[in-house]
Structure 1
Amino acid sequence: MCGRDQHAEQSMLVKASSDHHHGWIAGSQNSIPTSVAIDKVFDEIMGEGPFDNEEQEGQWWQQLPLVSAVTGVLLRQQNRRRWKPAALAHMFARRLDSRKLITSLGGNGAIFSSSGRTNVSATASVYRSPPLLSLRLLFESLSSDRLRRLVVFENFDQMYPASYMNLGCVPMRIPSSYVSRAVANVSLTLEHLSASFIVDARDFFDARELSWKWPNLTWLALTSRLLVPQERSTELDDMLRAAAVAAMKMPNLETMEIWNGENGLAMLFRYQRAERGRPAVITWRGTWELTLRPAVIQAWRSVALRHRGQGHIIVKELLDASICVKSHGDAIRHLKLSRPVIRPVSLRQIRMEHIIREGVQSQ
């Protein structure tokens, strides 16, 4: 279906998506789904399996042999089911012995892709978070000298929380500082790390200890809720300065990207190391003008000098007012991050879902 003309595809879907019982009229969603309907779609894999308790399930996983011959496991975003973090931890423990592993997990899962050494890439569709302890333990279990690349993308839908308001669900997902710290710990031996929405950059850098170093890290991409227009400017400055302090401990860092995206907004802060005698480049690109204050600029100037650069330049790119950002998927497309933070097919699905729901064509 990827080769189909997008306009023709949308027309086909609009004709097929009139269902008054489920709140769809002529291709537009006019009411939110109930929590029961969402639970039915996103039911847990092994949630009500053949085990009486967690201990019995753990014993079952432990009796499985290591399968070092496995080179690929693919469960894409459209899987729509949720993996318990404990089940993922057990699964990876039986697979990560492999030297060449490609794993993609949708639902509350992860995507791990690699070449030569173990890499992990994860996409999670989340409407209600799994227990924070089990999620933290999952990331702690990934700490390994064999793991080189970790890409985690927690997908979300800004409409879903409204279906759970009677259960005290917050309107927007708030990343846990405990999970952020676990991911920060894993990052110390990585070459590449991208953690979108499941981690906040402020918590990631706040977790840093004075002794921490990232000797192998070349690319780091994180999201931050502080990247919003005209709000909490002092906190944003503190976070960007903390990022610069951490970058001083990353001798091989080539690119650091901190970004945010949701309906109506998109922003990217990027540091790129100097190459071939050229200055380092600091870029902001987004739907509003981001003011970098002198203390922030000075902090990143120090990073450029530490990385043996010849000073730095600042590139400002205000996105055209005609650009329509309907979702975090649209934001990713327009921000043009240096490397993929989500698999292309999953990104396309996210954007298409919002196009269909809105009943309009994104730019």
Structure 2
Amino acid sequence: MCGRDQHAEQSMLVQASDPHHGWIAGSRNSIPTKFAIEKVFERIMGEGPFDDEEQEGQWWQQLLLVPAVTGMLLRQQNRRRWKPAALAHMFARLPGLQEIHYEPWRKWFHAQQQWTDRALRLLFESLSSDRLRRLVLFENFDQTYPASYMNMGGDPMRIPSSHVSRAVANASLTLEHLSASFIWPNLTWLALTSRLLVPQERPTELDDMLRAAAAAAMKMPNLETMEIWNGEKGLAMLFRYQRAEQGQPAVLTWRGTWELTLRPLVIQAWDSVALRHRGQGHVIVKELLNAGACVKSHGDAIRHLKLSRPVIRPVSLRQIQMEHIIREGVQS
């Protein structure tokens, strides 16, 4: 599918009609029910074949070790969910694992997400390994799904868990590449998302976050690039720190759909990072995205922001963009 002409795909999609599932002439005219969503996102081995978690753990322990496997890709295309505990058992049977790309979907209301976050914390705590070098975490979402859970306390925005963040940070201590959360001595590249990167809402909190990021960067002696970004329908913003080449200034970049003002205390904090990394001051590069830039989803935001390295598998990014094109209807 990746090699097909996009216009051909769109002309095919515009003909699609399935009123029973809320689609007419290629456009969705109603949101899916929570029962439909739960069916698509059903857990793998969720209702069995084991009587309890202890029995399942014993089954995993009986499997042979497979040291030949060095990479694991769990992409967002597979909506069905692996239980985090099952993934922890799976990864434990792969002693040569060096790279993990994990693209789970968020839960749609808080009680479910709290339970999942407890399980995710245990999963990330199990990842502490001298062999693991690259960890890319991308929690995908659909802005329309929470509406199907409003009578059950559906959450429009993901409520972050400090326990999960702390577990990822601890797992990252020997990593060279992380897309998700904080790390230290070996890290050369880091990408984070922040809900504070929105126009003119909480400038003081935004400043505090950027200064906290600078303080973290001070503890990353090998850091070359840190990127903090946010994206959703209608907005996109990237803040990037790039370590100075020898004898050159460090580069601070913002790129987005509105103008981001870096206040003096924020600039001062990143100046200190540049000096720590033996740079000669800094330069600021500003890029206001063209008004014609169409940001229909977080997938479009990633494409327009041009992050220095992938934060999601390219095929997954393309799928996210196509799903939003389909959802909003395709015009021939």
- Asked whether the two chains share a fold, i.e. TM above 0.5, the reply is yes
Equivalence for 1:31: 30
Instruction: Note if contact 2:72-2:100 (Cα within 8 Å) is conserved in structure 1.
Output: no
Tell me the SS of whatever aligns to 2:244: coil
Cα distance in 2 for residues equivalent to 1:323 and 1:11:
22
Decide whether aligned partners of structure 1 residues 44 and 176 sit closer, same or farther in structure 2, where only a CA change above 3 A counts: same
Pick one of 168, 178, 189 that aligns with 2:163. 178
Equivalence for 2:216: 246
1:264-312 deviations in Å (ceiling 9; x for gaps): 1100000000013221000000001111100000000011011001110
Q: Residue 44 in 1 paired to residue 24 in 2?
A: no
Cα distance in 2 for residues equivalent to 1:37 and 1:6:
28
Equivalence for 2:128: 143
Equivalence for 1:210: none
Tell me the SS of whatever aligns to 1:79: coil
Q: Which amino acid aligns with 1:42?
A: F
Q: TM-score, normalised on structure 2?
A: 0.95
Greater Cα shift, 24-33 or 55-64: 55-64
Q: Which runs of 5+ in 1 are unaligned?
A: 102-117, 205-212
Cα distance in 1 for residues equivalent to 2:192 and 2:248:
26
Cα distance in 2 for residues equivalent to 1:6 and 1:282:
35
Instruction: Note if contact 1:127-1:160 (Cα within 8 Å) is conserved in structure 2.
Output: no
Instruction: Note if contact 2:71-2:99 (Cα within 8 Å) is conserved in structure 1.
Output: no
Pick one of 145, 154, 176 that aligns with 1:191. 176
Q: Residue 224 in 1 paired to residue 198 in 2?
A: no
Instruction: Note if contact 2:251-2:285 (Cα within 8 Å) is conserved in structure 1.
Output: yes
Cα shift at 1:23? 1.1
Q: Which amino acid aligns with 1:327?
A: S
Cα shift at 1:187? 2.0
Cα distance in 2 for residues equivalent to 1:72 and 1:120:
6
Equivalence for 1:110: none
Instruction: Note if contact 2:40-2:79 (Cα within 8 Å) is conserved in structure 1.
Output: yes
Matches within 5 A, 1:63-102: 63-95=62-94, 97-98=95-96, 101=97
Pick one of 132, 143, 154 that aligns with 2:117. 132
Q: Which amino acid aligns with 2:105?
A: S
Q: Which amino acid aligns with 1:348?
A: R
Cα shift at 1:71? 4.2
Cα shift at 1:69? 2.5
Cα distance in 2 for residues equivalent to 1:66 and 1:4:
40
Instruction: Note if contact 1:32-1:159 (Cα within 8 Å) is conserved in structure 2.
Output: yes
Q: Residue 4 in 1 paired to residue 1 in 2?
A: no
Instruction: Note if contact 1:326-1:354 (Cα within 8 Å) is conserved in structure 2.
Output: yes
Cα shift at 1:340? 0.2
Matches within 5 A, 1:201-212: none
Cα shift at 1:47? 0.4
Cα distance in 1 for residues equivalent to 2:169 and 2:71:
26
Cα shift at 1:60? 1.1
Instruction: Note if contact 2:26-2:329 (Cα within 8 Å) is conserved in structure 1.
Output: yes
Tell me the SS of whatever aligns to 1:222: strand
Instruction: Note if contact 1:65-1:94 (Cα within 8 Å) is conserved in structure 2.
Output: yes
The percentage of aligned residue pairs carrying the same residue is 83
1:121-151 deviations in Å (ceiling 9; x for gaps): 2111234435221110001111111111111
Equivalence for 2:206: 236
Cα distance in 2 for residues equivalent to 1:238 and 1:227:
12
Instruction: Note if contact 1:301-1:312 (Cα within 8 Å) is conserved in structure 2.
Output: yes
Tell me the SS of whatever aligns to 1:9: helix
1:37-72 deviations in Å (ceiling 9; x for gaps): 011111110101211111111111112121113345
Instruction: Note if contact 2:197-2:229 (Cα within 8 Å) is conserved in structure 1.
Output: yes
Cα shift at 1:239? 0.8
Q: Which amino acid aligns with 2:177?
A: H
Which aligned segments of 4 or more residues in structure 1 are displaced greater than 2 angstroms? 69-77, 125-131
Cα shift at 1:360? 4.0
1:200-253 deviations in Å (ceiling 9; x for gaps): xxxx5xxxxxxxx82211001000011111111111101110111111111110
Q: Residue 287 in 1 paired to residue 257 in 2?
A: yes
Tell me the SS of whatever aligns to 2:228: strand
Tell me the SS of whatever aligns to 1:229: coil
Say which structure, 1 or 2, has more relative contact order (CA 8 Å, 6+ apart).
2
Instruction: Note if contact 2:72-2:101 (Cα within 8 Å) is conserved in structure 1.
Output: no
Pick one of 141, 146, 152 that aligns with 1:156. 141
Cα distance in 1 for residues equivalent to 2:184 and 2:225:
13
Pick one of 83, 101, 120 that aligns with 1:121. 101
Equivalence for 2:234: 264
Cα distance in 2 for residues equivalent to 1:181 and 1:153:
16
Cα shift at 1:336? 0.2
Equivalence for 2:245: 275
Instruction: Note if contact 1:223-1:260 (Cα within 8 Å) is conserved in structure 2.
Output: yes
